[in-house]
Amino acid sequence: MTDLQAFYGDLYTVDDPERAQFLGGWRRLGAANKAAHVAVLTRGLQPRRIVEIGCGDGALLLALSERGVGETLDGFELSAEAAALARRKEIPKAGRIEAYDGLHVAAEDDAYDLAILSHVVEHVPEPAPLLAEAARLARHVIVEVPLEGNRSAKRPAVREEAARIGHVHAFDRQAVRALLRGAGLEITAELSDPLSLAHHSYFAGDARSRATAAAKTFVRRTLFRASPARAERLFTVHYACLAARAG
pTM for this predicted structure: 0.94
**pLDDT band at 20, cuts 50/70/90?**
confident
92 vs 9 pLDDT, higher one: 92
Lowest mean pLDDT: which of 18-27, 73-82, 176-185, 215-224? 18-27
Q: How far apart are CA 125 and CA 128, in angstroms?
A: 9
Give me the chain's average pLDDT, please: 93
Q: Which long-range contacts (CB under 8 A, 24 or more apart) does 223-229 make?
A: 224/192, 224/194, 228/192
Q: What is the pLDDT of residue 15?
A: 73
Mean pLDDT (whole number) for 214-220: 97
Mean pLDDT (whole number) for 144-164: 94
Q: Determine whether 72 is exposed, middle or buried from the number of CB atoms within 10 Å of its CB (0-12, 13-18, 19+).
A: middle
Mean pLDDT (whole number) for 118-142: 96
Mean pLDDT (whole number) for 116-130: 96
Q: How far apart are CA 116 and CA 33, in angstroms?
A: 14
Listed in sequence order, the residues at least 6 apart from 201 whose beta carbon sits closer than 8 Å to its beta carbon are 209, 210, 213, 214, 217
Listed in sequence order, the residues at least 6 apart from 211 whose beta carbon sits closer than 8 Å to its beta carbon are none
Residue 67 confidence (pLDDT) above 80: yes
Other C-beta atoms within 10 Å of 25: how many? 12
Residue 2 confidence (pLDDT) above 90: no
245 vs 246 pLDDT, higher one: 245
Instruction: List the 112-118 sheet strands across, edge first.
Output: 94-99, 72-77, 49-53, 112-118, 138-147, 237-245, 185-193
For the segment(s) 2-194+237-245, the CATH number from 3.40.50.10860, 3.30.420.40, 3.40.50.150, 2.40.50.140 is 3.40.50.150
Lowest mean pLDDT: which of 7-21, 107-121, 122-136? 7-21
- Which amino acid, one-letter code, is at 129? P
Q: What is the pLDDT of residue 8?
A: 65
Q: How far apart are CA 73 and CA 52, in angstroms?
A: 8
Check: CB of residue 144 under 8 Å from CB of residue 58: no
